[in-house]
Structure 1
Amino acid sequence: MTHAKTNEPDSAISTDRVIGRYGGDTLGPTLVCITGLHGNEPAGVAAATRVLDYLHKHKPALRGEFVALRGNLTALSRRERYIDRDLNRQWTQERLAALAAPGDAPQSVEDREQIALNAAISREIEHAPGRFFLLDVHTTSSVSAPFVILHDSLRNRAFARALCAPLVLGLEESLEGTITDHFSERGGVCAAFECGRHDDAVSVELGEAALWLGIRAADMLDAGDIPHIAEMRARIHAAASGVPPVVEVLARHALERGDAYVMRPGFRNFDIVRRGQALGLHNGHDVAAAADSRVFMPLYQALGTEAFFLVQPVARFWLWLSGVVRRAGFSRIIGWLPGVRPHALRPRTFVVNPLIARIAVAEIFHLLGAREHESEHGRRVFSLRREE
C-alpha cells in the first residue's frame, strides 16, 4: 500500500508560536489548537493553517475565537520528535512548579519550549470570556486509524465523541504529564486527536476535519457554516472502520533512556494480537503480547518512551453507567470505602491499601470518575477528575 506524503513544510518550520487566530464579533468559547508538540508531527500545523485560511477568506460569523499554536518550535525546525525530553510528558504540577521557581534557569530545550507554550495558552485562558477548549493534534509512527485520547471527565467525553473517531480511555494513567491532562485539571475541555501516520497526506485532511468538528462541538459555528461537515464526519468514520468505538489501555511497555527497542515490522495501530505473539526486541530480548488484545501505538521511530500499548474494547453499557454514577454524585462515597483514606497532601486524591481493598479496585474508581497514579509506598493512588 502506498501513502502520499505531506508536502506543506513551510507552515511547520517557523519561529512564530502563533500560527494564527480568528475571532467573530460575538463573545463565546475560545478553542486553542496545539500542533507540533512533537517536532516530527507537522501535519497538525498544516491542518490548522488550512482552517485559518478558510476562516480569513470566507469570514463566517464565529462565536468566540479560534487560536492555533505551534508546540515545540525547536523540534519542528529539526523534524525531530524532541531534542532533550518529550514535551508531552512534562505537564505535571511538580514540573511546572520547578520551571516557575525563581532563580532556576531552564535546563533543556523542552523546558524553554514549555515555559513559552504554557504562557501562551495561559494568556488565552485569562482572556477567554467563555468556556476554554483545547484540541491537541498529533500523528503516529505506524499506519493508523484516527483516534481520540482524553482525560475521561464527562465534559471531555462529550467533546471527544463529537470528533467522530474511536476513543482511547486510560492512557493518562500510563502517561503522566500530558498537556491535555494538565489543562483538563485547570477546567478546560480537552482532547488529543491522532490523525494517522506522520508523513501521510490523509493525516492533514483528517486533522483539518477534526478541527472543524471541534469548532462545531464548541458551538462556535452552525453546521451550515462549516464546509462539507457531513463529508468530514464520514471521512473520519471511514478511516476508523474496523476499530472498536471505545477502547481502554490494558498494558504499557515502557522504555528507558538508552534502551534498544526494535518493533517487529508490519504492525498497524489497533491490529489484533494474541497472547504470546512476538511484538519486538527489547535490549535483545523478545517481547510478547501479555493478553489477547489490540496493539496500540507500536513504535516505528528512533525516539519514544513507550514501545507499544495493549488495548481492549469497552462496552457502551459501562460508559453509560459511569455517566449515571458520576452525575448522581456517587464519588462522595469514595472516602468511606474499605481500605481507602484521603491523601495527606493532595486534594481530591485517595490512597488505597491493597491488603484491604483487593477486588475490582480500578474498575470501581474508574466508574466513580477517578484515575490512577503511580503508587506510593506500596499503596495505590487515585484522584478524582474534574467534572464541572
Structure 2
Amino acid sequence: MKDDRMAFNIEAPDLTQERVGNVGVPGVWHFDSGKQGPSVLITALVHGNELCGAWALKELLAHGVDLQNGKLTLMFCNLEAFDTFDINKHDASRYVDIDFNRVWTEERLSNTSLVETRRAAALRPWVEQADYLLDIHSMHEPAPPVVVAGTLPRNIELGVQAGMSEYLIVDPGHPDGVRMRDFGRFGQPSDDACALLIECGYHGDLASIAMARFAVQRILALSGIMAPDRLPPKWLEQHQKPVLQPTVLTVTEPVVAKTMDFTFTEPWQGMEMIKKQGTIIGYNNGEPVKTPYDNCTLIMPSLRQLIPGVTVVRLARTEPTRND
C-alpha cells in the first residue's frame, strides 16, 4: 500500500536569478547594513533534494533584505546537485560525488577532484566570517522537525532559546565526516560563534517550507539584525510561535551500517521512544541492533541513503526538563 506521507509535493524553485549572487560567487548573497552587529549566515541546498530552505531564501530575496544592523549572507550551497533534481528520483540529487555536509575538514577541503569539495572550498570564506549559522535541511522520512545543536553549551542554549521545533538534538556528528555546523569557529569551545542545523520535516512535505521560514525568522530575531516586521508578510501570517521548552535529546551513539545488509524490524519514522533496554530495532550485517537503555529515542532512522559507513539511525536519551 502506498504511503501518502511520502508524496513529494514541493516543486523545485526556479533559481535563475538567485544563483547569480551579488559577490561574484554563484548562489551567494551578502548584505551589510553598515552598522555594527553580528554576521549571520543562512544556508540552503546543502543537499540538492532538500528544497524547503531554497524556497525560504528565494522568498526573502524577492521581498528584499532590510537589515537593522550587522550583516547577512544567504547561500544556496550545492547547486550542481540541485541541477540534477528529478521529483521521481529525488534521492539521487542529494549530492554529486560526496555528501556536502561531510567535507568540512582541511584534508577534504583541499581535494579539488570532487564537485562538493570544490564548492565547499569556494564557500569557505563566507562560512568562516559568520558569527551565527542557520543550516536548513529536510528529512528522508516523514517525521517531526528537529533542531541539531551539536554538543557545545552555547549552541544548545541558542537552540532552546530559538524554540524552532519541539525537539532539540545534542549530538557530535557523523563518523564519516564533519558537518558545516561543526566546522572552524562553530566547533571551538573557546569561541562564541553559534550554529544550528534544522531538519524541517520530510523533503516533499509543504509544511517543511513553513518551518524553514519560521527558522529564518527566529535566527534573524535572536541575532538582532532583522525584526519580524521586515520579513515577507505571508511569513508572519503563519502565526507560528516559539516552543517554550523543547524536549532535549542527547545522542549517545550512532548506528552505522557495516555493509549493505541492514534492515529495521519495523518501519521506524523517527522520534519513537522504545521503552525497554535490549529491544531489537534492526539487524546490521546479521547482528541484532539493540536499544542500550530504557526509553531510547530513535533519531531520523532511514535506509534511503544506505551504503557501508553511513549513519542509519541515532540513539538518544531524553534530558531532564530545565526549570530555570
Q: Which residue of 2 aligns with 1:161?
A: 160
Structure 1 residue 202: deviation in Å? 0.7
Structure 1 residue 271: deviation in Å? 1.1
Alpha-carbon separation, structure 2, partners of 1:230 and 1:151: 31
**Unaligned ranges ≥5, structure 1:** 100-104, 126-130, 321-388
Q: Which SS does the other structure have where 2:212 is aligned?
A: helix
1:53 maps to 2:62: yes
Alpha-carbon separation, structure 1, partners of 2:316 and 2:209: 26
Asked whether the 8 Å contact 2:108–2:117 carries over to 1, the reply is no
Alpha-carbon separation, structure 1, partners of 2:284 and 2:97: 22
> Match for 2:45 among 8, 14, 36?
36
Structure 1 residue 77: deviation in Å? 1.8
- Computed over aligned residues only, the root mean square deviation of the Cα atoms, in angstroms, reads 3.2
1:176-197 Cα distance to aligned partner (Å, 9 max, x none): 5111111413642211111111
**Unaligned ranges ≥5, structure 2:** 21-25, 86-92
Q: Which residue of 1 aligns with 2:139?
A: 140
Q: Which residue of 1 aligns with 2:90?
A: none
1:338-365 Cα distance to aligned partner (Å, 9 max, x none): xxxxxxxxxxxxxxxxxxxxxxxxxxxx
> Match for 2:196 among 191, 211, 231?
191
Q: Which residue of 1 aligns with 2:217?
A: 212
Q: Which SS does the other structure have where 1:26 is aligned?
A: coil
Asked whether the 8 Å contact 1:213–1:229 carries over to 2, the reply is no
Alpha-carbon separation, structure 2, partners of 1:230 and 1:208: 11
Asked whether the 8 Å contact 1:12–1:77 carries over to 2, the reply is no
Structure 1 residue 68: deviation in Å? 1.2
When normalised by structure 1's length, the TM-score is: 0.66
Letter in 2 for 1:62: Q
Q: Which residue of 2 aligns with 1:170?
A: 171
Higher Cα Rg: structure 1 or 2? 1
The 1:280–1:313 alpha-carbon spacing in structure 2 relative to 1, beyond 3 Å, is same
> Match for 2:118 among 97, 112, 115?
112
1:124-159 Cα distance to aligned partner (Å, 9 max, x none): x1xxxxx72111111111112111112333432333
Which aligned pairs between 1:313-328 and structure 2 lie closer than 5 A? Answer: 313-317=318-322
1:11 maps to 2:12: no
Asked whether the 8 Å contact 1:139–1:194 carries over to 2, the reply is yes
Which aligned pairs between 1:174-323 and structure 2 lie closer than 5 A? Answer: 176-183=177-184, 184-185=186-187, 187=191, 188-226=193-231, 227=233, 231=238, 233-234=240-241, 237=243, 245-256=247-258, 259-264=260-265, 266-273=267-274, 274-283=276-285, 286-292=288-294, 293-303=296-306, 305-317=310-322
Structure 1 residue 108: deviation in Å? 2.1
The 1:177–1:221 alpha-carbon spacing in structure 2 relative to 1, beyond 3 Å, is same
Alpha-carbon separation, structure 1, partners of 2:236 and 2:197: 20
Structure 1 residue 174: deviation in Å? 5.5
Q: Which SS does the other structure have where 1:172 is aligned?
A: coil
Q: Which SS does the other structure have where 2:154 is aligned?
A: helix
The 1:253–1:89 alpha-carbon spacing in structure 2 relative to 1, beyond 3 Å, is same
Alpha-carbon separation, structure 2, partners of 1:170 and 1:301: 21
1:63 maps to 2:63: no
Alpha-carbon separation, structure 2, partners of 1:266 and 1:7: 27
Of the two structures, which has the highest relative contact order with CA contacts closer than 8 Å and spacing of 6 or more?
A: 2
Structure 1 residue 247: deviation in Å? 0.5
Structure 1 residue 303: deviation in Å? 4.6
When normalised by structure 2's length, the TM-score is: 0.78
Q: Which SS does the other structure have where 1:214 is aligned?
A: helix
Alpha-carbon separation, structure 2, partners of 1:249 and 1:26: 40
Structure 1 residue 40: deviation in Å? 2.1
Structure 1 residue 169: deviation in Å? 0.9
1:193-240 Cα distance to aligned partner (Å, 9 max, x none): 111111111111101110111000101123544556595543x649xx
Asked whether the 8 Å contact 2:42–2:135 carries over to 1, the reply is yes
Asked whether the 8 Å contact 1:294–1:311 carries over to 2, the reply is yes
Q: Which SS does the other structure have where 1:62 is aligned?
A: coil
Structure 1 residue 93: deviation in Å? 4.2
Letter in 2 for 1:201: L
Asked whether the 8 Å contact 1:249–1:311 carries over to 2, the reply is yes
Alpha-carbon separation, structure 1, partners of 2:152 and 2:236: 26
Q: Which residue of 2 aligns with 1:149?
A: 148
Tell me the matched-pair count: 296
How many percent of aligned residue pairs carry the same amino acid? 21
Asked whether the 8 Å contact 1:147–1:195 carries over to 2, the reply is yes
More helix by share: 1
The 1:233–1:174 alpha-carbon spacing in structure 2 relative to 1, beyond 3 Å, is farther
